[in-house]
Structure 1
Amino acid sequence: MKDHAVAAEIQTSVDQAKEASSVLSASMPRLVLEARRIAASVQHGLHGRRRPGTGENFWQYRRFLDGEPAARVDWRRSARDDHLYVREREWEAAHTVWVWPNLSPSMTYASARLQPKRDRALVIAFALADLLVKGGERVGVPDLLRPSASRRIVERMAEAVLHAGTGPALPPAFGPSPLAELVLLGDFWSPTQAVCSRIEQLAGSGAHGHVVQIVDPSEETFPFSGRIAFHASEGGESLTVGRAEAWRPDYEARLAVHRAALRDTCLRLGWGFVIHRTDRPASELLLALHARMGAGANAPGSAVSESRQEDAPA
């Protein structure tokens, strides 16, 4: 009997995985189109991640400053004006951006008519990758896609995700380069210590990162009342509660403790921590992430405060 029960449980897990893969496959074209639309809508308002430095590509002319070596003057450009000008080259970012979208079963949850958390994570991952590649960066997905600067980065990421199907609830443990930048997109409802330990491991090489907790509004407000049957998205456990509203204070307290631990870990490591609700526009999160990436205020070792996207202006 025990063997039959184990076999039935395994078959149920296989069936659920097949169903999730089928749903993801059907929705992927829509997610890719949505990501491109969002990326295009915000791209015009971005100043990019370029800045002056050592490199081969021309960036801009600027006025010559007193005290600089005369060899830096661009005499051809200066001859067309009454001022001396210096030819600046573009700073070349030699680092990779790793973007990890959580593909675990818990990310398929959605309340009301909102977008599932997994879909929102994929849209942001695709749109961000599109913007970064157009800005000259290399983008990779841990364990799924090697860093690439291909203009087809969105299609390549989508193919890799479809091939992977479901995935673990935490990003894989790997050793990113100290010059790398990480963007972790998930709900991070795993045990607090496990989440914090994984963030610390990824930051151990000196890489900078951003933890984005994507949540459904019901996961924050716990709007349930009366007799409710709760079903775990992973493991198949279920729990029936007689008066769900009585659980709200304890739920909110545990949520606050969990969030505080994640936020404190990120601040201590100089990482960014962002909370994004699926009832807010994806473009808000995309703009916030791009603004934080590569900026001096978010350089490794700097303290980045939590940003709650649900409070951002429309």
Structure 2
Amino acid sequence: MERDADTAVQSAAQSAASLVAAMPRLVLEARRIAATVYHGVHGRRRAGAGENFWQYRRFVDGEPSNRVDWRRSARDDHLYVREREWEAAHTVWIWPDLSPSMVFASPLARETKRDRALVVAFALADLLVRGGERVGIPGVMRPSASRNIVEKMAESLVHAASLPDSLPPSFSPSPLAEVVVLGDLWSPTPEVVASLVSLSASGAHGHVVQVCDPVEETFPYTGRVEFREPESGTRLTIGRAETLREDYVARVDLHRTAIRREAERHNWTFLIHRTDRPATELLLALHARMSGGAPQPAVRAPDDAPSEREPA
């Protein structure tokens, strides 16, 4: 027990030190990616209470007649309503998994899962704040619309009492809020499902992103291989690793299917992102979903088999 506790403390200290050292680079990368994407996307505009004109739409039977724009309607055979842009601040909770399992990168990856999750979280926050939204980190930072949101998030994480764990903390977002979960989601299936049930209980909308390394999808191992569980330090040695590939792929498929079904049951979205793919790819996909764009396929390279546990 003492040895396990010492290992956990040492691992946490190393993760924190690594995060502090990497933070300046990650902030700059997030700023660069956000600037690149910003010029190619539109804000999250939608109808609601406000002063700025947004669009005309057809009048619907049952609406008050004083909503009709008679000047626009006089130019056509239909009645039109003049809609204004919604201006109320919207809260988006972004949760990046910073547990030890995220500090992993195979030779096939561009960066660790932790770094990718943070870069996307920061860049997404920057885009959202530019669009007039408020962004917070559950259990770490209250919602803010600061123009320096990236630096504010980075500072909050560096000075947090503890780094975000494998699954989001228990909290009740507003029914009008939105939640973005960025993690590898390799916790036991019932725990992941229970977390989604808790987060969606208030009626909040959300997006779940599984960030994984390429080898966690393809399981390319052969021969004698030792695997280490990064959370507990448990080790498992397998004589012929290739014989487990088929079962591995099947179990991961079941795991992801259960997460996707639970997400869809609450009208949430589920994406899969590999760290050998560009961060801008995930950022664009997330922004499209949050802006009410058409559903897109899960973000993953084609013809790759899924996987489950993190090898080391």
Range of TM-score over shorter length: 0.7 to 0.9
Specify whether residues 36 and 59 from structure 1 end up closer, same or farther in structure 2 by C-alpha distance, changes over 3 A only.
Answer: farther
Q: Deviations over 1:246-287 (max 9, x none)?
A: 111110110111011011111111100000000000001000
1:234 equivalent in alignment to 2:231: yes
Quick one: higher RCO (CA 8 Å, sep 6+), 1 or 2? 2
1:155 equivalent in alignment to 2:148: no
Residue identity matched to 2:158: L
Q: In 1, distance between residues paired with 2:57 and 2:213?
A: 51
- Which of 158, 164, 167 in structure 2 is aligned with 1:167? 164
User: What's the counterpart of residue 185 of structure 1?
Assistant: 182
Q: In 2, distance between residues paired with 1:71 and 1:197?
A: 46
User: What's the C-alpha RMSD, in Å, of the aligned pairs?
Assistant: 2.6
Residue identity matched to 2:93: W
Q: In 2, distance between residues paired with 1:210 and 1:33?
A: 25
1:275–1:306 Cα contact (<8 Å) kept: no
Alignment TM-score, normalising by the size of structure 2: 0.85
- Which of 219, 230, 234 in structure 2 is aligned with 1:222? 219
1:284–1:309 Cα contact (<8 Å) kept: no
1:268 equivalent in alignment to 2:265: yes
Specify whether residues 7 and 69 from structure 1 end up closer, same or farther in structure 2 by C-alpha distance, changes over 3 A only.
Answer: closer
1:1-314 aligned within 5 A: 6-56=1-51, 58-59=52-53, 69=66, 89-112=84-107, 114-164=110-160, 165-295=162-292, 307-311=298-302
Q: Deviations over 1:44-91 (max 9, x none)?
A: 1111111343214x24586999x97599679xxxxxxxxxx9976321
Post-superposition offset of 1:242: 0.7
Figure out how many residues of one structure are paired with residues of the other and give that number. Answer: 290
Q: In 1, distance between residues paired with 2:67 and 2:237?
A: 78
1:211–1:272 Cα contact (<8 Å) kept: yes
Moved more, 196-205 or 158-167: 158-167
Q: In 2, distance between residues paired with 1:243 and 1:233?
A: 22
Identity among equivalent positions (%) equals: 58
Unpaired stretches in structure 2, ≥5 consecutive residues = 72-79, 304-312
Residue identity matched to 2:212: V
User: What's the counterpart of residue 310 of structure 2?
Assistant: none
Post-superposition offset of 1:9: 3.2
2:58–2:81 Cα contact (<8 Å) kept: yes
Unpaired stretches in structure 1, ≥5 consecutive residues = 1-5, 75-84, 298-303
Specify whether residues 258 and 72 from structure 1 end up closer, same or farther in structure 2 by C-alpha distance, changes over 3 A only.
Answer: same
1:64–1:73 Cα contact (<8 Å) kept: no
Q: In 2, distance between residues paired with 1:70 and 1:260?
A: 45
2:212–2:272 Cα contact (<8 Å) kept: yes
Q: In 1, distance between residues paired with 2:277 and 2:269?
A: 19
Post-superposition offset of 1:11: 2.5
Specify whether residues 90 and 255 from structure 1 end up closer, same or farther in structure 2 by C-alpha distance, changes over 3 A only.
Answer: same
Partner-residue secondary structure (3-state), 1:310: coil
2:180–2:208 Cα contact (<8 Å) kept: yes
Q: In 2, distance between residues paired with 1:157 and 1:64?
A: 42
1:61–1:88 Cα contact (<8 Å) kept: yes
User: What's the counterpart of residue 306 of structure 2?
Assistant: none
Post-superposition offset of 1:309: 3.3
Q: In 1, distance between residues paired with 2:14 and 2:132?
A: 37
User: What's the counterpart of residue 81 of structure 1?
Assistant: none
Partner-residue secondary structure (3-state), 1:136: coil
Specify whether residues 189 and 168 from structure 1 end up closer, same or farther in structure 2 by C-alpha distance, changes over 3 A only.
Answer: same
